[in-house]
Amino acid sequence: MVSITINGRELKTEKDITLLQLAKSEGIGIPTLCSHKALIPYGACRLCVVEVSKGQKTKIVNSCAYPLREDGISVQTNTPRLKKIRKNILEFLLARCPEVEIIKKMAGAVGVKEKRLPKKKVSNGQKEECILCGLCVRVCNEVIGKEAISFVHRGADREVAAPFYSQSKDCVGCTACAFVCPTGAIKVKESGNKRNIIPWNTEITLVTCEMCGISFAPENSGEYLKTKLNLPAEWLKLCPQCRRKVAAETMGKYDFASRKVFLKR
Ligand code: FES
């Protein structure tokens, strides 16, 4: 166990959890944009900065990537210095993505209203919505086990893209990238049995349920999961609702003729 204080509150916690995890579990608010509990900390947005003091020394660290290992540290989460850092970061983010709701809201909360910095120039009149937090790249790699997208270029041209800006063979169409994106930058459109992941120029074919005829899961991610999780061959034939109905009927709980569910006690 490790003993520390956060904003004057004495706390005991297990070793090696991060400062951000402890603060969250204690209801202490620290703003974040690039942290996700399923992913390894990356420290991209730097909004989660806190002051950590031991003895006479104080340093500023990213709380999402600071594992607690030593006793006796004292943490402050909202000093004037930290507020200024967050305000500066949000000013940059707002200049980059002025239309993104969550950025506008977070910037407003720290008092950034006017845009002092010039807007980022974007091509084709498209609005910039990506803050380069890397959550999409990391979820694809760390959770799905694929490398369908990655960072490309440097400096002001840095962005996330599929290899050569065309459909990646690695993409299983799961849309985990869109799910974790904090700004909604990854748009997905579905029409009939096709799913388009717009920023990756990717089109995926969906499997059609043999019973009800709706398109419900990407063909290649279904195949990938079937192999990875050792699922039965018929797993991809029915959509989740029809699978549940069939399972219920098999157990005598669902009557297809009357469409009634009979609960057994
Ligand atoms: S949440 Fe810690 S750096 Fe982004």
How many angstroms is it from 195 CA to the middle of ligand 1?
Answer: 31
Within 6 A (CB) of ligand 1 lie 32-35, 43-48, 62, 64
**To test the ligand 1 pocket, which listed residue (45, 86, 103) has its Cβ within 8 A of the most ligand atoms?**
45
Q: How far apart are CA 137 and CA 130, in angstroms?
A: 12
pLDDT over threshold 50, residue 265: no
Is residue 11 predicted with pLDDT exceeding 50? yes
Task: Please tell me the predicted confidence (pLDDT) of residue 255.
Answer: 56
Backbone angles phi, psi at 162, to 5 degrees: -80, 155
Are the CB atoms for 185 and 103 separated by under 8 Å? Answer: no
Q: Which of 166, 11, 147 is nearest to 75 (CA)?
A: 11
Write down the pLDDT at residue 41: 94
Q: How many C-beta atoms surround the C-beta of residue 116 within 10 A?
A: 8
Cα 126 to averaged position of ligand 1 atoms, centre (Å) = 27
pLDDT in tens, 180-219: 999 999 999 999 899 999 999 999 999 998 889 898 888 8
63-109 residue pLDDT tens: 999 999 999 999 999 999 999 999 999 999 999 999 999 999 999 99
Which residues have CB under 8 Å from 24's CB, separation 6+?
A: 30
pLDDT > 70 in the chain, percent: 92
Query: Are 154 and 191 contacting, i.e. CB atoms less than 8 angstroms apart?
Result: no
Domains of the chain in start order, with CATH, are 2-78 (3.10.20.740), 83-121 (no CATH), 135-249 (no CATH)
